[in-house]
């Protein structure tokens, strides 16, 4: 069976920052902190890839660099057929708008907008008229069980409900790839598990690829493949994949890697 085509490819990503506090100007590399160190990875269509790493390992930075929200100083990122770092910031935004959906840890719903307006927002940003996509929005609300909340404002929702709105918003433009940054970080363990089940169901229903970064081994185990990020480095040889992937396997690999 042929493998699905690659939707996202990153090669040799390096991102470093000057640490002013430790810099004394003595040497060339003095005070330079590498956030990402020669990171390469691929995501194929319909794949559920998780990147596992402790706090401060560079997970969010990697996600931002992969999406074009930020850019690495070295390396390249190809999204679909577009080299993200060969185009300007506006063009990157347009590519991101077409291909990607974003789920952020802190929900980041706009407080003035109702639930439905929050979900419709990416369509508006893309210049589309939400009423032409009402069926899709209704379907998403139904999938996440938030049909009755459409006129509510974010501050009246529970944490779980806010996250469902956030995921529904990310899917409203039917992206090919969903990027999720610690989506369960602000949820109870029960809501967190429910959230991950939703991701799996979404993938089956829409055939969407998912790239999820997390520090939770249980969440990581939902992926087809788990990559481990430590000190900005991603070693492909340490990845886990296969049908018997579970939280225990992720734990033991973490122990092996000393993370």
Partner 1 sequence: MRLLFFLVSKNWASSHLRLVLTWLGVALGVAVVMGIHILDHNTILSQLERRRWAYGEVDFELRPKNTQIQLDAALAELRKNPDLASVGLLNRASIRMKNEAGTVARAFFYGLSPLARNPFGHYRVARGKAPSDLETENRVLLPDTLAEALGLAIGDRFIAEALPLEVLGACVDGRLVSPDRKEKAEDLPRAELVLSGILEPVRLARQHAGLVVIGSFGLANHLGRHPRPVVQVDRAEGVDPDRLAASFREDYVVETERSALIGEDADERAFRNGVKVLGALALVLGMFVIFHTLSHSLAERIRRLGILRSLGATQSQVSQVFLLDSFLLAVFGAVGGLFGGIGMALALEGLGLTTLGFGKTIGSFELPWGDMIVIALLGVGFTMMGAAFPLFKIRNLSPTRILHARDLAPPVDLMRGVHVFLLVLLVLAVPVTYLALTPLLESSGQGAVMILVQVVGIIALAFALLLLTPRLVPVLGSFPLALFRRSQALGCFLVRKQLLRSPGRIGTSVCGLTLVALAMLGLRSLTASLKGEIHGFSQEALAERLFVRADSSELLPRQAWQRIQDLPEVETVLPLLALHNSDLLMVGTESLPLAAKGGVFEGAPDLARRFSKERTLVLSRRLASLRKASVGDRLPILVGSRVEQYEVLAVSDRDGFFPDERAFALIDLRWMKQDFCQEPNIVRDMSLRLAKGSSYRDAERSIRKLGYPLSWVQSGQNIESFYLKDVDRDFFFFDVLLYLLLVLAGVGQVNLITLFTLAREREIGVLRALGLTRQDFVKVLLLESLVLGFLATLLTLVIGLPLSYILVHGLREVSGLSVPFVFPMAEAMAVSLLIFVVALLASLLPALRVAGLPPARAVRAPE
Contacting range for partner 1; rule: CB under 8 A; set: 112-120, 186-194, 224-232, 244-252: 112-120
Cα–Cα distance list, 255 to 28, 178, 206, 248 (Å): 35, 29, 35, 11
Would residue 108 be called left, alpha or beta, if left means φ above 0 and alpha means ψ between -120 and 50 degrees? left
Q: Does residue 61 touch partner 1 according to CB under 8 A?
A: yes
**Cβ atoms of 131 and 181 closer than 8 Å:** no
Q: Does residue 46 touch partner 1 according to CB under 8 A?
A: no
Spatial neighbors of 228 by CB under 8 A, at least 6 apart, are: 51, 52, 53, 234, 235, 238, 239, 253, 254, 257, 259
**Cβ atoms of 203 and 234 closer than 8 Å:** no
Site for partner 1 in 173-192 (CB under 8 A): 173
Contacting range for partner 1; rule: CB under 8 A; set: 23-31, 63-71, 75-83, 250-258: 63-71
CB of 98 to partner 1, least distance (A): 8
CB of 128 to partner 1, least distance (A): 9
The mark string for 66-85 relative to partner 1 (x by CB under 8 A, - otherwise) is: -x-xx---------------
Q: Binding residue for partner 1 (CB under 8 A) from 59, 96, 133, 253? A: 96
Across the chain, the runs of DSSP E, i.e. the strands, are 6-18, 32-44, 48-52, 74-79, 82-83, 100-103, 177-181, 209-214, 225-230, 233-234, 240-241
Give the residue with the Cβ less far from partner 1, 41 or 157: 157
Give the residue with the Cβ less far from partner 1, 209 or 254: 209
Give the residue with the Cβ less far from partner 1, 35 or 240: 35
**Cβ atoms of 43 and 29 closer than 8 Å:** no
Which residues of this protein are in contact with partner 1, per CB under 8 A? 60-61, 64, 67, 69-70, 89-90, 93-94, 96-97, 102, 104, 106, 108, 110-113, 117, 121-122, 124-127, 129, 153-155, 169, 173
């Amino acid at each position: 069976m042929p493998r699905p085509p690659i939707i996202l490819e990153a090669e040799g990503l390096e991102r470093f920052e000057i640490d002013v506090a430790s810099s004394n100007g003595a040497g060339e590399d003095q005070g330079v902190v590498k956030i990402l160190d020669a990171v390469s990875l691929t995501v194929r269509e319909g794949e559920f890839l998780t990147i596992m790493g402790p706090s401060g390992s560079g997970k969010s930075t990697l996600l931002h660099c992969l999406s074009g929200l930020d850019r690495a100083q070295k390396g390249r990122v190809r999204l679909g057929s577009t080299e993200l770092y060969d185009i300007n910031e506006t063009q990157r935004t347009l590519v991101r708008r077409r291909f990607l959906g974003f789920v952020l840890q802190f929900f980041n719903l706009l407080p003035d907008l109702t639930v439905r307006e929050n979900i419709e927002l990416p369509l508006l940003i893309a210049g589309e008229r939400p009423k032409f996509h009402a069926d899709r929005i209704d379907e998403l609300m139904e999938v996440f069980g938030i049909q009755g909340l459409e006129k509510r404002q974010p501050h009246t929702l529970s944490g779980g409900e806010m996250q469902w709105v956030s995921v529904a918003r990310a899917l409203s433009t039917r992206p090919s790839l969903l990027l999720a940054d610690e989506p369960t970080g602000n949820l109870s363990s029960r809501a967190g598990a429910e959230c991950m089940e939703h991701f799996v169901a979404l993938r089956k229903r829409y055939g969407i690829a998912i790239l999820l970064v997390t520090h939770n081994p249980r969440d990581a185990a939902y992926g087809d493949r788990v990559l481990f990020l430590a000190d900005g480095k991603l070693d492909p040889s340490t990845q886990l994949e296969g049908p018997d992937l579970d939280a225990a396997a992720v734990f033991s690999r973490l122990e092996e890697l000393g993370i």
